[in-house]
Amino acid sequence: MTVRTRFAPSPTGRLHLGNVRAALLNWLYARKTGGKFLLRLDDTDLERSRAEYADGIVADMKWLGLHWDEFARQSDRLARYDAAAEKLKSMGRLYACYETPEELKLKRFSQVSEGGVQVYDRAALRLTDAQKQAYEAEGRKPHWRFLLDAKDVRWNDLIRGECSYHGSRVSDPVLIREDGSPTYTLASVVDDVELDVTHIVRGEDHVTNTSVQIQIFEALGRDPATIHFAHFTLIGDIGGHNLSKREGGLSVANLRDDGLEPEAIASLLARFGTSDSVEPVASLNALIPGFAFEKFSRASPKLDPEDLLRLNAKIVHGLSFDAAKTRLPEGADEAFWDGVRPNLTKVLDAREWWALTHQPVAPVLGDPAFLAEAAKLLPAEPWDATTWGTWTKALGAATGRKGKDLFMPLRLALTAREHGPELKTLLPMLGRARALARLEGKPA
């Protein structure tokens, strides 16, 4: 059996880190087993799906390096869902319902008030043909529900272990909306059947869906034993809330625009929720050998964005000039990159140090007499990495200063910053004319 996994986002927003984790785990399992990875856009929600979101998902996946073997779009397969719905109707497993959203809300409220289980009461099964005709004469369009068997549904989850749900405790799911469009539940099962998906890896918020979909698999002729499920815990923020694209979760687009490296995101998410140490990797392929569902905990991991920044900094510190040069300011050379790289969290932070060494900066001045002496002792050019040491040694001997008392006033005057790359590296980039002007209190 060839393993076939799928990532099936809805193009109703941009990808966030919760989505990326699902995509990454499916990709890693397919790659480790020599299988196939399918990207499928679940775009049957005609009201909320947008072409720009679909294009954004494709762009985000490519940027992350999560390349797919096959691609599908549910809007291209509507005839397949219609055929499946007709089959289920002929079997008596799909029945028409006419309740309005308001009526269904009242039913749920009544069930809560009475302390009962909140499941659909199947009132539509008791409608006569005359009642159905009367509803349709009012202009009501039916939605169609799948008739669940009142039986225990079990599966051995690759992360959660043994799982079971009884059909009587779950509402018959709506498979066809009033406008005739299929819901996620029907379209997803039809696709998984017809596209030969063998492993469904997704968040634990889909566990109840799995109990329902297993019955639909059976009704459509797919043996559920040929499909394996793995439900991972959802990512929470450090405040305990789940990340969501509708609630301001961290989007891939924003992270990319902020200068995060895709390898930092993958390094964190691939091992998030496992006992493995989270260390940066140079490529996604390095994550494949150590991947295993058995490593994932049932506890919900909490994401601190600072963890991403720490990983990103480690990756940036290891980037070669050739890997970074297209993102550096025009004119930046390898010497500049090697000099500033150890102080960067993101590649784009290099712009700040380029501006500092190549554009006017207002110096922060301390002791005027000390800075005047520093200006007097400033060596002649040419300058190199030894110039800083030669200059400060002479200045220390002339003023009796050492340590922070010697170096900090110079750093503030030359860079207007208390921290940054080593001045032995920055000084040759500044050049004597600019350094002298700043020591004299002139923006240069």
Contact 20, 265 (CB under 8 A): yes
Q: Go through the chain and tell me how many residues it has.
A: 444
Using CA atoms, how far apart are residues 195 and 206, in angstroms rounded to an integer? 20
Using CA atoms, how far apart are residues 49 and 46, in angstroms rounded to an integer? 6
Contact 36, 230 (CB under 8 A): no
Task: Kindly state the tokens that stand for 313.
Answer: 């900094």
Task: Kindly state the tokens that stand for 302.
Answer: 């909490």
Using CA atoms, how far apart are residues 99 and 149, in angstroms rounded to an integer? 22
DSSP β-bridge partners for residue 200: 229
Predicted model pTM: 0.89
For tokens 């297993």, the residue is 214
Domains, the chain: 1-74+184-318 (3.40.50.620), 80-176 (3.90.800.10), 360-439 (1.10.10.350)
pLDDT of the residue at 72 = 97
Contact 145, 125 (CB under 8 A): no
Cβ count near 273 (within 10 Å): 22
pLDDT of the residue at 244 = 52
Our CA dihedral for 229, 232, 233, 238, rounded to 10 degrees, sits at -160
DSSP letter assigned to residue 97: E
DSSP β-bridge partners for residue 38: 6, 70
pLDDT of the residue at 246 = 47
DSSP H or E run through 201: strand 199-203
For 231, list phi and psi in degrees, rounded to 5.
-110, 115
Using CA atoms, how far apart are residues 173 and 94, in angstroms rounded to an integer? 10
Under 8 Å CB-to-CB from 323, ≥6 apart: which residues?
Answer: none
Task: Report the sign of the C-alpha dihedral through residues 77, 78, 81, 87, in that order.
Answer: negative
pLDDT of the residue at 238 = 61
Question: Which parts of the chain sit beneath pLDDT 70?
Answer: 116, 238-249
pLDDT of the residue at 304 = 87
pLDDT of the residue at 239 = 58
Using CA atoms, how far apart are residues 15 and 61, in angstroms rounded to an integer? 9
pLDDT of the residue at 213 = 97
Q: What is the pLDDT of residues 229-263, one digit of tens each?
A: 999 999 887 655 665 544 455 899 999 999 999 99
Our CA dihedral for 80, 81, 84, 86, rounded to 10 degrees, sits at -110
Is the link from the previous residue into 262 a cis peptide, with omega within 30 of 0? no
The distance between the two most distant Cα atoms of the chain, rounded to a whole number of Å, is 106
Q: What is the pLDDT of residues 302-333, one digit of tens each?
A: 888 899 999 999 999 999 999 999 999 999 99
